[in-house]
Amino acid sequence: MTNLSKERPKALLLLAGTATMWSLGGLLIKSVKASPLSIAGSRSAIAVVLLLLVLKKPKLTWSVAQIGAALAYAATSMLFVTATKTTTAANAVLLQFTAPIYVAIFSSWLLKEKTKLLDWITVFLVMGGMVLFFLDNLSTKSILGNGIAAASGVSFAFFIMFMRMQKDGSPLESVLLGNVFTAAIGLPFLAWSAPDASGWLYLVILGVVQLGIPYILFSRAIKHATALEAILIPVIEPLLNPVWVFLILGEAPGLLAIIGGFIVLSAITVRCVLAAMLSPAKEVST
Q: DSSP label at 265? A: H
Q: HSE on the CB side for 4, CA within 13 Å?
A: 9
Burial of 53 (0-12, 13-18, 19+ CB in 10 A): exposed
- Alpha-carbon span 211 to 80, nearest angstrom: 13
As a whole number of angstroms, the distance between CA 191 and CA 202 comes to: 19
The confidence score (pLDDT) of residue 83 equals 94
The Cα 227–Cα 230 span in angstroms is 5
Alpha helices by DSSP H, the chain: 3-22, 25-31, 36-55, 64-86, 89-96, 99-110, 117-135, 140-164, 171-186, 197-205, 213-221, 227-232, 236-249, 255-278
3-state secondary structure at position 208? helix
Burial (CB count within 10 angstroms: exposed 0-12, middle 13-18, buried 19+), residue 140: exposed
Give mean pLDDT in consecutive 10-residue pieces for the chain, a chain of 286 residues.
63 86 93 95 95 88 89 95 90 80 72 67 74 63 83 88 72 90 96 92 95 86 65 75 88 79 77 65 41
The pTM score is 0.81
Query: pLDDT tens, 84-138?
Result: 999 888 888 878 877 777 777 776 666 566 667 777 777 777 777 767 766 666 5
